[in-house]
Structure formats: C-alpha cells, structure tokens
Amino acid sequence: MTLPHSDSPYPELRAELHALHLELPKNGLVTWTSGNISARVDGGLLIKPSGVTFDDLRPEQLVHTDLDAQVLCGDLSPSSDTATHAYIYRELPEVGGVVHTHSPYATAWAANAREIPCFLTAMADEFGGPIPCGGFALIGGEEIGREVVRVLRGHRSPAIILQNHGVFTVGRTPRAALKAAVMCEDVARTAFLATQLGRPQPLHPADIDRLYDRYTHVYGQQAAPAPQKEEGEVVS
Ligand SMILES: [Zn+2]
C-alpha cells in the first residue's frame, strides 16, 4: 500500500514533480509509460515509478531513493532509469533535475547516431551549439549515466541524445531540465524538416558564441525578481 500523500516526505516537491510529469505527454515527448523526471533531494532523489502511465501517476507514488538508487520510501519499483539519474546526481553536483524521454524527432537523430546540428538561433541560445550524441549504452546499470556525464560535464548543452535510445536533459531544477527536453524536441523537429528541404546552413561558431552569451547574460527580465519556479532556469 502506498503511503497517504500527507505522510510521504517532500509533499511540495512531489506535487511539483507530478505536475512536471504531466507536461511530458502534453508536449508530445512520451508514449504510454516511457519517460521520467527526477528531482534531487538531500542525499537522494525522487523519481517516477516504473510502468505507471502518466494518467494514473499520483504524487505519493513518486519513489524516494538514495544516490545508489536504493529505495528509501515507496511501495512501487522506481523507474528502470533510476541508476542513470543517481549516477548523474553523484557526478554533477550542480544538477538538481534530470529528464529522460524517447521524444520522436530527437530520437530519430539518435537512431542515426547523429548530433543535432546547430542550424537555428534558438539552438545557439538554449544549447550553445549542436546537441551532442553519446554512444550506445545498455539500460539498467550505470553505463548510460557514465556516458551522459562523460559528454555533458563541462558542456554548454543541457541535453544529450544517446545513440539508439533517446534524450537525457539536466538542469539546476527539474523544471529547467524539462524546458531543455521540450526545446530539444522542438529544434530536433525543425532541424529534421530543414534537412528534408535541402542543405540547412550551420551557424558560424563565433555567432553561436555571441547568441549564447546574449541569451545567457542579457536576454529576459534580468531586473525583475525571479519567480521561484524559474530558479535555476535559463531566462526565457
Ligand atoms: Zn529510455
């Protein structure tokens, strides 16, 4: 039996993480039970349980594990991607949220083992260049996490596509990681369409640098107090 909501630790974060999970199907990023979001908590993480549809998901069902992916609270098994999320939190202390999807356009690039080239100013803004493609890694252990960390550590992009698999994004908050997942699919789709039309022109690296710098440091409502939910998110 699942603990009543009020008895589950982190009730506010559970409510937020549950709401963010509902954005995955709303934005066309997931099918059936695939895809998950986690949030870092003190010494561990909260993550979607395995095999639960987004319609059926309840805040109290989110599973609390430690950073070795061992369940601390929850009666359902955590996502089969939990070891990956835990590895990312262990290795990248600045990360507070992780999203995983098989969103179709981005995953189509991953199936071809192709990075998503930087054809668009929106990509330069959000990802600081192409979205990198990591190598193939088997599901279940820490192999995927190692590949994600190997590529994303020190990288501008908060998103990676993994060969033959799908998308992982990171952020200082789960909401920031979700935004990166939504934007990743959006630019993957446009880059795909552009490729069908002809020969899209990659942006010059110096222009990418200028766009990224402006978006990161100048663009947006810098003077206004940041709304709490925007914390850790690139201003948009
Ligand atoms: Zn997957």
CATH number at residue 34: 3.40.225.10
| Band of residue 140 on the pLDDT scale cut at 50, 70, 90 | confident
Ligand 1 center from residue 224 Cα (angstroms): 38
Q: Is residue 88 part of a domain?
A: yes
Asked if pLDDT for residue 82 goes beyond 70, the answer is yes
**For strand 133-134 and strand 159-162, is the pairing parallel, antiparallel, or unpaired?**
parallel
Asked if pLDDT for residue 34 goes beyond 80, the answer is yes
pLDDT per position as a tens digit, 152-167: 999 999 999 999 999 9
Q: Is residue 64 part of a domain?
A: yes
Q: Is residue 126 part of a domain?
A: yes
Ligand 1 center from residue 227 Cα (angstroms): 32
Ligand 1 center from residue 186 Cα (angstroms): 19
| Band of residue 139 on the pLDDT scale cut at 50, 70, 90 | confident
The answer to whether the CB of 38 falls within 8 A of the CB of 45 is yes
Q: Is residue 235 part of a domain?
A: no
Ligand 1 center from residue 159 Cα (angstroms): 14
Ligand 1 center from residue 166 Cα (angstroms): 6
| Band of residue 8 on the pLDDT scale cut at 50, 70, 90 | confident
Amino acid letter for position 175: R
Q: Is residue 81 part of a domain?
A: yes
Q: Which domain holds residue 130?
A: 5-219
| 207 CB neighbour count, 10 Å cutoff | 13
The pLDDT of residue 218: 82
Ligand 1 center from residue 164 Cα (angstroms): 10
Ion ligand 1: residues, CB within 5 A, are: 166
Q: DSSP alpha helices (H): ranges in the chain?
A: 11-26, 82-91, 104-111, 121-127, 143-152, 174-197, 205-217
User: Does this model's pTM top 0.85?
Assistant: yes
Q: Is residue 59 part of a domain?
A: yes
Query: How many separate domains does the chain show?
Result: 1
Q: Is residue 230 part of a domain?
A: no
Ligand 1 center from residue 229 Cα (angstroms): 27
| Band of residue 222 on the pLDDT scale cut at 50, 70, 90 | low
Q: Is residue 18 part of a domain?
A: yes
Ligand 1 center from residue 202 Cα (angstroms): 29
Ligand 1 center from residue 220 Cα (angstroms): 33
User: Average model confidence (pLDDT) for the chain?
Assistant: 92
- The CA–CA distances, whole Å, from 194 to 66, 117, 203 equal 43, 11, 14
Asked if pLDDT for residue 233 goes beyond 60, the answer is no
